[in-house]
Structure 1
Amino acid sequence: MKKRIVLVIICFLLTACGRVNENKKGLQSDNNNSVINNESTVKDNLVPQKYSFGPKVKEEEVSEETKKELQSHLNKLGNPEKDNISFNGFSAKFRQDGALVVSVFIRNGYSYTVHDIEAKVDLKKHNEVIASATFNLTEDEFGSLNPGESRVWNLIYEPQHILSKNVDLKEYFLEYSTKYNRK
């Protein structure tokens, strides 16, 4: 438990955070998906998994222990789902200010690089929406995501986007739809 808390704190401090976006812009592609129990079910032709941090993170400041923990968790997920941008959560915690921080791997299952991702992400438990928001992951803040790559990221749901506050979040799933630009 202590390692998980340290991991969440380190991820929160070192990654740029997804910002809720209330503005819609016309992006090229769109997909709708959910990940049950935060695990991918596609494990055919497993390849070594790669992750990265956002462009504002100094990777050398992330401890080797944290990197190993992230890699271990990512390897358990298997390959990114083909032809999909997926969100695999590995931690969800309420902050003292009432915001909900969800640490995720954002994964690119396409054969091309994507950027400027707009994602509507619902956090659910037992099919009840706990939190819902649209996040705008700009290329300046988030960077671009290469084919097969996963990005460690924190999605922050501000209190006004949380529908149920007294919930045990040991188990949850993410339901999402995305739009993005491709390179």
Structure 2
Amino acid sequence: MGLFDFFKKNDKVKSDSAIDSSNLIEDAETSTETKLVKTKLSLHPNWIVPQEQKYVFSFLANQLAPLRPNQLSLAAIDIDADKNTGNWYVRAFFRSSLPQEIELGEVGLILLDKDNHPIASKMFDFKELGTIPPESCRPWVFTFEKEHIQADELPGEGWKLAFNLNTLKKHTLDLDDSWKSQLSAEQQEYLEKIVSQLPELKQNEVNFTGFQAKFRDDRSLTVSLFIRNGSDRAINFEQLPLEIIDANGKRVAKGTFKFEPPLTVQPRTTKPWSFIFPAELVDADGADLSRWRAVVPQ
């Protein structure tokens, strides 16, 4: 199926999700006008568009409501599902009411049902859309592969395509209240500095990075980890299997930790947490903790 096959004569614009351009573009030139902006149709310069298809795009573009100045918007049209792959193809207009042309990079999008519950999310490279002229709208098909979909079926009425602002958040330290009460301001700043220097996470990556390990007099082992959440959704741990591997590849501890209530790590944050392995779960003989790593067995 070609791109133009997705856009049909009987299509209608269903929803419009707009944000202030400052959320995505730093130091963007903005307009002081207060008058609403009617966006003009802009087709990708590399497209060879049949005249009949141009009429379809023009018809749809004329349905779009005006935007406030300095906004970016996603106007959803419809979703097609591929029965063979399970992928969803979302037809939409990307719109800009900015007074200058723009080109974006990686942008997170999210599909929401009528109750604003997320049903799909993915990072898209907006460079593929090309340069967007001032005050214009460009039709596009956004493909959500099956692994990016959290629903069993297409949404009914009232769904929308939106910018996922969580993906724009800077990764931060998430200190539990119990840690805040025990650490001084200087210690908290030190942890923040460490977190800021850790390697950047991939989209949806969850990572366990050890930063402190110590055997106790009773031969138990205490380890402290950074639990790092690179996704745009909170993660709740009800239990966590954990192994500690020393510098020589030896497993020095193995156990499963249960949390009640669940341990929550917020989107795009790193939460430090300590785990105590009792002596019966520890093999301390010959252990070398000059270097070590935490492993979550599958």
Shorter-chain TM-score bucket reads: 0.5 to 0.7
Q: Residue 110 of structure 1: CA displacement?
A: 2.1
- Candidates 54, 57, 81, aligned match of 2:176: 54
User: Structure 1 stretch 92-101 or stretch 108-117: which is displaced more?
Assistant: 108-117
- Check conservation: 2:229, 2:265, Cα contact below 8 A: yes
Structure 1 gaps of 5+ residues are 1-45, 179-183
In structure 2, the partner of 1:88 is 209
**What's the CA shift string for 1:127-147, capped at 9, x where partnerless?**
221111111233x263x2111
Q: TM-score, normalised to structure 1's length?
A: 0.62
Deviation at 1:81, TM superposition (A): 4.2
Distance change in 2, residues 1:167/1:137 (3 Å): same
Partner of residue 157 from structure 1, selected from 277, 281, 286: 277
Match of 2:252 in 1: 130
1:105 corresponds to: 226
What percent identity do the matched residue pairs reach? Answer: 22
Q: SS of the residue aligned with 1:73? A: helix
The aligned counterpart of 2:295 is 175
Q: Structure 1 residues 120, 84: closer, same or farther in 2, change over 3 A? A: farther
Letter in 2 for 1:131: A
The 3 A distance-change label for structure 1 pair 165 and 51 is farther
For structure 2, the residue ranges without an aligned partner over 5 or more in a row are 1-167
Indicate if the aligned counterparts of 1:124 and 1:130 stay in contact, CA closer than 8 A.
Answer: yes
Which amino acid in structure 1 is aligned with residue 294 of structure 2? Answer: L
Normalising by structure 2, what TM-score? 0.40
Per-residue Cα deviation, 1:63-119 (whole angstroms, up to 9, x for no partner):
111012111211221333432332110010011121101011111122211113422
Alignment check: 8 A CA contact 1:107 1:150 kept: yes
**2:238 touches 2:262 (CA, 8 Å); kept in 1?**
no
d(CA) in 2 for partners of 1:154 and 1:51?
A: 15
* Alignment check: 8 A CA contact 2:242 2:254 kept: yes
Instruction: Give the match's secondary structure for 2:217.
Output: coil
Compared with structure 1, are the counterparts of its residues 98 and 164 closer, same or farther at alpha carbon in structure 2 (3 Å cutoff)? closer
> What RMSD over aligned residues (CA atoms) do the two structures have, in Å?
2.6
1:121–1:133 Cα contact (<8 Å) kept: yes
Secondary structure at 1:160 match in 2 = helix
Partner amino acid for 1:124? I
**Greater RCO, CA 8 A, separation 6+:** 1
